[in-house]
Amino acid sequence: MNSSSSPNRGRPARLNQERTLQTALDLLNESGLDALTMRRLADALGVQAGALYRYFATKHDLLTAMAERMLDGVADAAGPTTDSDWSEKAADLIRALRTALLAHRDGARVFAGTHPTGPNTLGFSERLIGVLREAGFSDSEAARALYTVANFTVGHTLEEQAAHYPGDEEPTDAGALHEAVAAGAYPHLAATLPVLAGTDFTTNFEFGLRLLLDGLRALQH
Amino acid sequence: MNSSSSPNRGRPARLNQERTLQTALDLLNESGLDALTMRRLADALGVQAGALYRYFATKHDLLTAMAERMLDGVADAAGPTTDSDWSEKAADLIRALRTALLAHRDGARVFAGTHPTGPNTLGFSERLIGVLREAGFSDSEAARALYTVANFTVGHTLEEQAAHYPGDEEPTDAGALHEAVAAGAYPHLAATLPVLAGTDFTTNFEFGLRLLLDGLRALQH
DNA sequence: ACCTGAACACCGTTCAAGT
DNA sequence: ACCTGAACACCGTTCAAGT
């Protein structure tokens, strides 16, 4: 029947946004952000680099789509039926954001370098602001709290992922820290060195998260 | 009259670490991080790009030195004679960190991409941890609080500087946010849109800072 | 000792031309 | 409509050779 007048005549496209996006995320996990070049991505897709620009106008657009995809599901983290209080729901959302960023190599760097405005990112903001507004916080308090926890989470995960893949294997700057502290200046750093040089990032994150939630609690009288 | 056997014979060096570092910081302020290439920096110094590698082994080393230099003076922010309480001293240090990052274009991006271990950076950590330990916080609390406030400040300033220089002039994603919100989904985002789309970064920062300090206060019973 | 010149191995992006 | 081939204008880094 309409085999010749249909749209999309010619050969079926070997490329599309979805396959490009998925392959880019795979390549990110395998090789990291620095190795994610348009040429290498094209290679992995069996295509020339120029062909990618039919689906993403710039590399930055591709990175934005990757960041948005990374947040898939985070908005569903605050259990809707669990009758926990607002701070538990907020904590669940924020932990889900960190987990989503950690799920991809250099996830925080990708996210920090873009400003996704898709349903996953907006959905996360919507849910967290909703939890806070329903807890009695004002519009501006809720909005500013969102920014604060998001900035903390991205900043923290940036550090965490930078410490994990230092290009080589050893913690590059732990040595420099030990050296400087051993010289005698910095008595307070010396006393807290075990924690400063430690790698228990989850405990560090939970500490910061608790600070923020306690701070919010102090706000409601 | 040792005019011929002295070290440093031959022509005096046109280049050195200090001049390279200072010119790099100037170029950063003029053109931003993306335009700060070894070739352009060499041009500004009147030299070939390869010559830079006698003073900085890699571009990353240069960026690390730039980050360290940016924090010059921040450790002196907590007035030593002012008899204010610990939270005022801590706040002053943290505000000084933000101010230092804001003082250079893309300062937060430079700082986030490096791990300086010089006296300015270590001095800042030493002072903040000192203030907290003397306020009665434990070693691990003080160390984790440092990480939390530093990560928040870097994350926040990253956002702030990304919003200021979007390559062009208009707030690039404010439009996308308005569009998405206007569609009807995201009622909570719609209600808080004025604050979310606002650009009062100092107020936002102070809100987060207060949250963290209140959270710390809640920690000491 | 310090810098040049030139190369190596890459980048993101564009666009005529093919199919 | 979709992709190739080839180019444009760059990168960071290395290193023999000059002075």
Residue-wise pLDDT for A42-87, tens only, equals 999 999 999 999 999 999 999 999 999 999 999 999 876 666 899 9
Q: How confident is the model at residue A168 (pLDDT cuts 50, 70, 90)?
A: very low
Instruction: Tell whether B159 is within 8 A of chain A (Cβ).
Output: yes
Looking at residue B212, its pLDDT comes to 98
Instruction: Tell whether B219 is within 8 A of chain A (Cβ).
Output: yes
Percent share of chain B, pLDDT over 70:
89
Percent share of chain A, pLDDT over 70:
89
Looking at residue A80, its pLDDT comes to 64
Q: Is it true that A11-57 and A71-163+199-219 share their CATH fold?
A: no
B220 and B137 Cβ atoms separated by less than 8 Å: yes
Q: Give the span between the Cα atoms of A142 and B44, in whole angstroms.
A: 47
In this predicted structure, the answer to whether residue B171 has a pLDDT above a threshold of 60 is: no
Q: Give the span between the Cα atoms of A92 and A74, in whole angstroms.
A: 9
| Residue A13 Cβ < 7 Å to strand C | no
Longest dimension (CA), chain B: 85
In this predicted structure, the answer to whether residue A120 has a pLDDT above a threshold of 60 is: yes
Distance (Å) from the C-alpha of residue B15 to the closest C-alpha of chain A? 27
A83 and A1 Cβ atoms separated by less than 8 Å: no
| Residue B13 Cβ < 7 Å to strand C | yes
Structure tokens given for A111: 């996210």
Instruction: Tell whether A150 is within 8 A of chain B (Cβ).
Output: yes
DSSP label of A78? S
Residue-wise pLDDT for A177-202, tens only, equals 888 888 889 999 999 999 999 999 99
| Residue A10 Cβ < 7 Å to strand C | yes
Structure tokens given for A36: 């994610």
Residue-wise pLDDT for B146-169, tens only, equals 999 999 999 999 999 998 765 444
Domain ranges, ordered by start, for chain A: 11-57, 71-163+199-219
Looking at residue B12, its pLDDT comes to 74
| Residue A14 Cβ < 7 Å to strand C | no
A105-109 long-range Cβ contacts below 8 angstroms, 24+ apart: A105/A28, A105/A29, A105/A30, A105/A32, A105/A33, A105/A161, A105/A165, A106/A28, A106/A32, A106/A33, A106/A161, A106/A165, A107/A70, A107/A157, A107/A161, A108/A154, A108/A157, A108/A158, A108/A160, A108/A161, A109/A33, A109/A158, A109/A161
Residue-wise pLDDT for A5-31, tens only, equals 344 445 678 899 999 999 999 999 999
Place of tokens 């849910």: A127
Give which of A125, A155, A111 is closest to B152, Cα–Cα.
A155
Please provide the CATH number assigned to the domain covering B11-57.
1.10.10.60
For residue B180, list chain A residues with Cβ-Cβ distance below 8 A: 117, 122
Q: What is the sign of the dihedral through the CA atoms of A164, A170, A172 and A177? A: positive
Looking at residue A44, its pLDDT comes to 98
pTM higher than 0.85? yes
Q: Which of residues 12-31 of A touch strand D (CB under 7 A)?
A: 13-15
A–B CB contacts, 8 A cutoff, strictly below: 185
| Fold held by A71-163+199-219 | Tetracycline Repressor; domain 2 (1.10.357)
Across chain B, the runs of DSSP E, i.e. the strands, are none
